[in-house]
Amino acid sequence: MVGMISIYALAAVGMSMQFMMIINLFITLYVVGGNALISRFIGQGRKKRASSLLFSLGIFAIFLSFFVSFSGYFWSESIYALMGAEPEVVLQGSLYFKIITMGIVVIFVDALLYNALSSAGDTKSSLYIKLFSAGINAFLNYIFIFGNFGFEAMGIEGAAYATIIAYSFNIIAYLFLLKLPDSKLNLIPIIRIKDLQRVWNIGWSASLERGISSFSFILFIAIITAYGTAELAGYQVGLRIEGIAFMPGFGFAIASMALVGQSLGEKNKQKAFDMGIISGRIAYIFMGSVGLILIVFPEFLVSFFTQDKLTVIVASKYLILVGLAQIPLAIYFIYSASLRGAGATKITLKVNVLSLLFLRVIPSYIAYKMGFGIVVIFIIMNIETLLKGIIYWYIYQKREWLDTKV
């Protein structure tokens, strides 16, 4: 729907997703450590301890969100300009991102509740909540962006309002779910500083990894932006469509993270190792199958987002290339998530940072300076994915991560 506004609006929303990756480093502070600890508590049969930790992390998430909202609101325009975007993209992006950051508290709390329930073994409730929420989001987009049913057409701002309202629905639904006696988790108003410290010990390295990785991604986006708005929009469209393949990978990564943590809580290392292997095999099939679709029908998929010819060409080339890389991407998703579920976030920090910087960003910059086209940048990105998948496979098979203390 945003693509129907203009190519500038499409590029602006796409860039905002990269900025959200930076914001996610704050979410990572409490989510990754919380996942590892909650899953272990559940594996040990300590539901009350897990529930009190969830309450503590909720307070922390709300407190943290206010600082992010303030910074994002006042710096949004400068961030877009710093990325080298065209003036119209800067204008559209700042309009969108200011609204998103003002509602960042619901995004922070939603991420916590979603991940906590997943770590406890309840993914079905989130499925139903997210499905209904997605319907609300799409319907409100139709109303707010285009001005249907008597509403004023708000364009890109309407998309932002629709997103925040949908997230707010998620929070209400989750709070209702947590009050049910048979829920996997409840909210118990007890704050244990010791547990928060344990979360921090795991979360700081994961957050640092996310921060450096996000900065690397922004540098990568800046390189693509230098090619032009159509190339940027094509990359963003391709990335959204690739999300069709991402989602099964993310789903099984969450499952692997939860099951590995629970198995280690049961003190069963072999079971923890097997959970990652099984999750990986299923993810290979799903992501590999979707990758084949990306390769065979790229232009058809892109046509749902935009009719701009150059954007269609760029996005189609991107999809063909990333379609070839879905299986190594699945390896990366599952095995890195398994290590995080075990609390081995220092390993993922080293691998992801070094891989993104030395195998993606620096080679891409060199290729751009040497005058190579955008396709070469996409090829470099895929090579980095392949090598990172091989590295994670090797680390996983060594099993040393199973001895991580939480």
Assign 58 a pLDDT band (cuts: 50, 70, 90): very high
Q: What is the DSSP letter of 324?
A: T
Q: Above pLDDT 90, what percent of the chain? A: 57
Write down the residue that tokens 């994002």 correspond to: 72
- Using CB atoms within 10 A of its CB, is residue 38 exposed (0-12), middle (13-18) or buried (19+)? buried
Inside any domain, residue 217 = no
Whether residue 249 is found in the same domain as residue 128: no
What is the pLDDT at residue 177? 95
Whether residue 304 is found in the same domain as residue 372: yes
Whether residue 198 is found in the same domain as residue 230: no
CA within 13 Å, CB half, 205: 15
Whether residue 248 is found in the same domain as residue 124: no
Inside any domain, residue 218 = no
Q: Mean of the pLDDT values across residues 67-92?
A: 78
Inside any domain, residue 213 = no
Q: Write b or e for each residue in 54-82: b if 16 or more Cβ atoms lie within 10 A of its Cβ, otherwise e.
A: bbbbbebbeebbeebbeebbebbeebbee
Whether residue 266 is found in the same domain as residue 166: no
Inside any domain, residue 395 = yes
Residue range 303-330, pLDDT digits in tens = 888 788 888 899 999 999 999 999 999 9
Inside any domain, residue 16 = yes
Write down the residue that tokens 């922390």 correspond to: 60
Inside any domain, residue 65 = yes
CB of 330 closer than 8 Å to CB of 256: no
Model-level pTM greater than 0.85? no
Provide the domain count of the chain: 2
Q: Write b or e for each residue in 230-258: b if 16 or more Cβ atoms lie within 10 A of its Cβ, otherwise e.
A: bbbbbbbbbbbbbeebbebbebbbbbbbb
pLDDT value at 26 more than 90: no
Whether residue 274 is found in the same domain as residue 233: yes
pLDDT value at 15 more than 90: no
Whether residue 337 is found in the same domain as residue 282: yes
CA distances in angstroms from 293 to 263, 301, 379, listed in the order given: 35, 9, 19
Whether residue 147 is found in the same domain as residue 199: yes
Whether residue 370 is found in the same domain as residue 243: yes
Residue range 273-306, pLDDT digits in tens = 999 999 999 998 999 999 999 999 999 999 888 7
Distance CA(11)–CA(87), nearest Å, equals 12
Residue range 363-392, pLDDT digits in tens = 999 999 999 999 999 999 999 999 999 999
Q: Which parts of 38-150 are beta strand (E)?
A: none
Distance CA(124)–CA(111), nearest Å, equals 16
Task: List the domain range (segments joined by +) for residue 161.
Answer: 1-204
Q: Which of 14, 18, 403 is nearest to 210 (CA)?
A: 18
Distance CA(273)–CA(367), nearest Å, equals 39
- Using CB atoms within 10 A of its CB, is residue 398 exposed (0-12), middle (13-18) or buried (19+)? exposed
Inside any domain, residue 59 = yes
Whether residue 31 is found in the same domain as residue 179: yes
Whether residue 281 is found in the same domain as residue 247: yes
Assign 251 a pLDDT band (cuts: 50, 70, 90): confident
Residue range 204-239, pLDDT digits in tens = 888 888 888 877 877 888 899 888 878 888 888 888
What is the pLDDT at residue 83? 66
Inside any domain, residue 212 = no
Assign 86 a pLDDT band (cuts: 50, 70, 90): confident
Whether residue 89 is found in the same domain as residue 188: yes
